[in-house]
C-alpha cells in the first residue's frame, strides 16, 4: 500500500468524523494508506487577509514545517477550508522570502521552513494522480439512477491562484460523481457561498442561503448534495433542516461528504457515521430498503 | 475634491492593512453584482470602496464588512484584480485593533455550533 501524508484538521476529528473514517476506508480500496501527521495544529480555518500581521500565518506554516520534519514533500488535505488556508499561506511564504525569514525566526522550536512542501487536496489526488478509472474500479454498488448535486462552495476554486479548478465552470466534482456511477446535477448555486462563519451570529442569513442552495438543487432533481467542507456541511445540513422546519417547506436534501459517497459505492456505509447528520441520507441512498431486504 | 489629513489617513491605513491599491478600483460594480449578501449590507462592496477612496471614516460604522463572508466571489470577478475581501478585512481590522470586538463573547450562545464555525468567526470578528 502506498503511504501518503495526511493533514486532518480539527473538524475531521469531531463533527466531520464520518468524513475522515470514510476517507480512510475509501483510500484503502484504492491502495492508499492515509498516514496522519504525527504533529499538527489547527490551521486557523480562514486565511488571514491582513498584509501586515504575520502572526496569523504561524498556524498554517507550522503544519508545513511538521510535514517537512516528517520527511514528506507533499501533504494531503480533505477539508476545503484547511486546504485553502494551508495553500494560501504556503504560496505567501514561497513568494516572499522576507516574510518567510521573519516567520522562521519567530518559530524557535521548529526547524526553518524551506518552502518546499506542496499541499494537495484529496480531489487532486483522485483526479491528477490516480485518475477517474482507478476511482471507478472498487465500485461494488453502482449508484445508478442517483442524482447528485456537486457543491463546490468557495474554498475549492477561489482564489484562482490556488483553486483546484476553474472558478466559474468547475468540473472535478461532476467527474467524481460520474466515476462512481451516479448522475451529476446541474444547478446555478454550486459555487455560491453558504454564508460561512456568519452561521455563528447572523444565523438568518445562513438559513436563507442554505434554503436557497438546497431547494435549487432539489428543483434540479438532486437526491443529495456532496461537499468537502465541514462548515458548508453544517450550514447546508443543520441549517437547512432548521430552514425547512421554519418555513414548513419542501423535502430535505441530505448532504454527504465526498468520501462518504465513495464508501457507499464501494459497499461500506458503516464508516460514514450517518447518524451524525441532521438530515439522514440513508433513505435517499436507498440503504434502508436494502438493509430490510437483506434481513 | 481635496482630501484632508484625516481622510488620507484612512486611505493609507486601509492600503497598508490590505496591501491593495484603492485607486485601482474604477467603480464598475462587478464586485457588488457577484456578492450573494448585498441584501443584508448597508453599503454595496463598490460603495464601501468608494467611501474609503474619499476618506469617509463613517464607513467604519457600516454593517457591510461584518456581513462579508470572505467568500471571494467578488475577487474572481474584479476586472482590475482588486482583492475586495482584503479591503473588507482592513476595514474590520481598524475597528478590531482599536480594541472593539464585533463578537461579544458574553452573549454568544455557542451550543451545537461546530468548532470550524466558531474559530473562523473569532478569527474575523475579534481582535
Ligand atoms: S469589481 Fe473591482 S473595479 Fe469594479 S467596483 Fe469592484 S473593486 Fe472596483
Ligand atoms: S467576499 Fe465579501 S464582499 Fe466579496 S462577494 Fe463575498 S461576501 Fe460579498
Q: What is the pLDDT of residues A129-147, one digit of tens each?
A: 999 999 999 999 889 999 9
Q: How many domains does chain B have?
A: 1
Q: CATH code for A2-123?
A: 1.20.1050.140
Above pLDDT 90, what percent of chain B?
A: 83
ipTM value, please give it.
0.94
Model confidence, pTM = 0.95
State whether the beta carbon of B35 lies less than 6 angstroms from ligand 2: yes
Asked if B67 and A198 come within 8 Å (Cβ–Cβ), the reply is yes
How many interchain CB pairs under 8 A, A with B? 116
Which chain B residues are closer than 8 Å to A96 by Cβ? Answer: none
Asked if A201 and B116 come within 8 Å (Cβ–Cβ), the reply is no
Q: Distance from CA of residue A293 to its chain's centroid?
A: 33
Residue with CA nearest ligand 1 atom 6:
B31
pLDDT value at residue B1: 64
Task: State pLDDT tens for residues A226-257.
Answer: 999 999 999 999 999 999 999 887 789 999 99
Above pLDDT 70, what percent of chain A?
A: 97
Whether the Cβ atoms of residue A173 and residue A124 lie closer than 8 Å to each other: no
The answer to whether residue A181 neighbours chain B at the CB level (below 8 Å) is: no
Contact residues of B toward A, CB < 8 A: 16-19, 36-37, 40, 67, 69-73, 75-76, 83, 85-86, 88-90, 93, 103, 108, 110, 112-121, 123-125
Enumerate the CATH 3.40.50.11810 domain ranges in chain A, comma separated: 139-294
Distance CA B32, CA B44 (A): 6
The three cell numbers of residue A127 are 483526479
Q: Distance from CA of residue B41 to its chain's centroid?
A: 11
Say which ligand is closest to the CA of A198: 2
State whether the beta carbon of B41 lies less than 6 angstroms from ligand 2: no
The residue range of the domain holding B92 is 5-126
Domain CATH number, residue B94? 1.10.1060
Distance CA B17, CA A15 (A): 34
Task: State pLDDT tens for residues B71-100.
Answer: 999 999 999 999 999 999 999 999 999 989
The three cell numbers of residue A237 are 445540513
| Residue A201 host element (H or E) | none
Is the CATH code 3.30.70.1450 the one for domain A139-294? no
Amino acid at each position: 500500500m502506498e503511504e501518503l501524508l495526511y493533514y486532518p484538521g480539527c473538524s475531521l476529528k469531531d463533527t466531520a468524523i464520518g468524513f475522515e473514517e470514510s476517507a480512510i476506508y475509501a483510500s484503502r480500496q484504492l491502495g492508499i494508506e492515509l498516514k496522519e501527521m504525527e504533529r499538527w495544529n489547527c490551521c486557523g480555518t480562514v486565511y488571514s487577509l491582513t498584509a501586515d500581521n504575520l502572526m496569523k500565518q504561524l498556524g498554517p506554516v507550522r503544519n508545513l514545517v511538521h510535514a517537512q520534519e516528517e520527511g514528506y514533500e507533499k501533504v494531503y488535505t480533505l477539508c476545503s477550508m484547511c486546504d485553502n488556508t494551508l495553500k494560501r499561506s504556503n504560496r505567501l511564504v514561497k513568494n516572499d522570502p522576507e516574510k518567510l525569514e521573519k516567520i522562521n525566526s519567530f518559530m524557535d522550536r521548529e526547524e526553518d521552513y524551506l518552502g518546499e512542501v506542496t499541499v494537495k487536496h484529496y480531489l487532486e489526488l483522485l483526479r491528477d494522480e490516480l485518475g477517474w478509472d482507478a476511482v471507478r474500479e472498487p465500485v461494488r454498488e453502482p449508484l445508478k439512477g442517483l442524482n447528485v448535486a456537486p457543491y463546490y462552495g468557495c474554498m475549492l476554486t477561489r482564489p484562482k491562484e490556488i483553486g483546484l479548478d476553474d472558478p466559474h465552470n468547475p468540473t472535478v466534482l461532476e467527474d467524481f460523481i460520474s466515476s462512481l456511477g451516479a448522475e451529476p446535477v446541474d444547478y446555478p448555486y454550486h459555487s455560491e457561498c453558504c454564508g460561512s462563519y456568519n452561521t455563528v451570529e447572523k444565523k438568518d442569513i445562513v438559513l436563507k442561503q442554505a434554503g436557497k442552495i438546497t431547494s435549487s438543487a432539489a428543483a434540479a432533481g438532486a437526491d443529495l448534495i456532496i461537499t468537502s467542507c465541514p462548515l458548508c456541511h453544517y450550514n447546508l445540513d443543520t441549517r437547512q433542516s432548521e430552514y425547512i422546519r421554519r418555513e414548513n417547506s419542501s423535502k430535505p436534501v441530505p448532504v454527504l461528504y465526498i468520501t462518504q459517497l465513495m464508501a457507499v459505492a464501494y459497499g461500506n456505509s458503516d464508516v460514514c457515521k450517518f447518524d451524525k447528520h441532521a438530515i439522514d441520507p440513508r433513505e435517499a441512498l436507498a440503504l434502508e430498503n436494502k438493509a430490510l431486504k437483506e434481513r | 475634491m481635496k482630501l484632508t489629513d484625516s481622510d488620507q489617513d484612512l486611505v493609507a491605513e486601509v492600503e497598508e492593512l490590505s496591501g491593495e491599491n484603492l485607486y485601482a478600483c474604477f467603480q464598475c460594480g462587478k464586485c457588488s453584482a457577484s456578492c450573494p449578501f448585498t441584501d443584508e449590507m448597508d453599503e454595496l462592496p463598490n460603495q464601501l470602496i468608494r467611501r474609503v477612496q474619499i476618506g469617509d471614516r463613517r464607513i467604519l460604522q457600516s454593517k457591510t464588512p461584518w456581513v462579508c463572508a470572505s467568500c471571494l466571489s467578488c475577487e474572481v470577478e474584479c476586472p482590475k484584480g482588486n482583492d475586495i475581501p482584503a479591503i473588507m478585512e482592513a476595514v474590520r481590522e481598524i475597528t478590531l485593533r482599536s480594541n472593539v470586538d464585533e463578537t461579544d463573547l458574553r452573549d454568544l450562545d455557542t451550543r451545537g455550533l461546530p468548532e470550524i464555525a466558531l474559530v473562523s468567526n473569532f478569527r474575523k470578528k475579534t481582535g
